Amino acid sequence: MEPFTLLQPESALSAWDNLLAFWRFEDMNVFWVLIGSILLGMSASVIGAFAFLRKRSLIGDALAHAALPGVMMAFLLFQTRDPLVMFLGAVTSSFIGFFLIDWLPKNTKIKPDAALAITLSFFFALGLMLLSYIQGLNVDNKSGLDKILFGQAAAMTQNDIRLLGYVAIIILVTVTLFFQKLRLIAFNRSYAQTLGISVKFYELLLALLIVMSVVVGLQLVGVVLMAAVLLTPIAAARFWSNELSHMLALSALLGALSALISTQISYLAPAMPTGPWMVVSLSLLFILSLLFAPQKGLIKRYLEHSQLRQKVAEENILRTLYKLLERNQLDQQDFNQADIQALRSIPTESLQKTLKMLCKKHLIESSSRGFRLTKEGFELASQLTRRHRLWENYLNQHAELTPEQVHKQAERIEHILTESQEQQLQAELENAHYDPHGNLIPTQRSSQNTNARES
């Protein structure tokens, strides 16, 4: 079977014309390569997710390298590049590598990561030696064997695409049928055993699916980059959801999207190989997920951290004003910056910025003599002080910490305690009225005001 001539757009045409030609599928070979890439991206992403969740991410990389000597041996024995022969040779070699990775840690003092490294390097070196040996032989069909290292979509034949399609469908259907059991084993292997699930059988099934996915992807992506197709989509999907079914769907979507992007780029720029572009596309999607995912993205976390830091700064000022009120027994209502800094060490610039923000929120108001708490600010400061002293009492009574040790702990926890937690503390402490330092614990403010602030 002749390989596809995938990427030969007319040079005189504009990029837009070439793009339209791609989507019109004027060359059916382009269509079939695109379908094969999408199927590989989806199936490898889904099955690679289970290796990722079981913290065996490098298993795909090791199996891809272990497939290389199998491909070369199959060619040496049968003198053919029939996809099925190559597939069986690669599967056999990868399975030998898999059992070696599994056997070494169980029967020797070699750690699992060392077993992976030994197997990967040994099989890859053996494969390279066989490849060099074949290159020196005077046999037909040997040209292009080295493309398996980095993949070449344009060298794929219809038989390659057909085999890839069959394997992808088998993987997706098998995962769908045994999803519940594979999920249970991925998250809690011991619990699955207690339920009577044949864990070894499903682990073997999972290994077989990973091996098949790796082997059929070699022609497209190559030995070196196949692990990225297995692992990058699920790593990106984890930023978007905690539900496994959603993560698998997202992984499949990202795998398919990367295949679409890479095939299109390869069509528009024939010098650009599909496999590496597939990995680059996945990496870009991973970076976008890392930055912009709505719940776990770095930007979201940075904004939340900034908001929390601002909230803590404001609440610390409110509590400082409340303590100043206590010390002066409510005789003095207004306090200047020096009074605040005498009680709490805060840089002047930061203090001025926080005071300005508190004035905007009507939690404090300024006067000619300084700043004073508004009614709402006083209630909030009273609540914070109450939670602070309740927590000090709790640590003193239940964690047996001294009064000198509890203050710093309470300084942090007072900002995140909720109304219900405050009530639990009150119940645990049997309505204590004084903290370990002998200070009065403020009475509980109205739940209406509490809820208004927490909302």
pTM summary value: 0.77
Rounded Cα gap, residues 414 and 422, in angstroms: 10
Which has the closest alpha carbon to 344: 361, 366, 324? 324
Say if residues 335 and 294 touch (Cβ distance below 8 Å): no
Which has the closest alpha carbon to 278: 293, 291, 292, 264? 264
Rounded Cα gap, residues 162 and 158, in angstroms: 6
What is the enclosing helix (H) or strand (E) of 257? helix 244-268
What DSSP character marks residue 369? T
What is the enclosing helix (H) or strand (E) of 367? strand 364-367
Say if residues 126 and 65 touch (Cβ distance below 8 Å): no
With left for phi above 0 and alpha for psi between -120 and 50, is residue 272 left, alpha or beta?
A: beta
Which has the closest alpha carbon to 443: 403, 388, 386? 386
pLDDT tens per residue across all 455 residues of the chain? 445 554 455 555 577 777 777 777 777 777 877 888 898 899 999 999 998 888 887 888 888 888 889 989 999 998 887 888 888 998 899 889 988 998 999 898 888 889 989 998 999 999 999 999 998 888 877 777 777 777 777 667 778 888 888 999 899 999 999 999 999 998 888 899 898 889 989 988 988 898 888 888 887 888 778 888 889 999 999 999 989 999 999 999 999 999 899 888 888 877 777 888 889 999 999 999 999 998 889 999 999 999 999 999 999 999 999 999 888 776 778 898 999 999 888 899 999 999 999 999 999 998 888 899 999 999 999 999 999 999 998 998 888 888 888 888 888 888 888 888 888 888 888 777 888 888 888 886 544 444 444 43
Q: What is the per-residue DSSP string for 87-153? A: HHHHHHHHHHHHHHHHHHHHHSS--HHHHHHHHHHHHHHHHHHHHHHHHTS--TT-TTGGGGGT--G
Rounded Cα gap, residues 351 and 342, in angstroms: 12
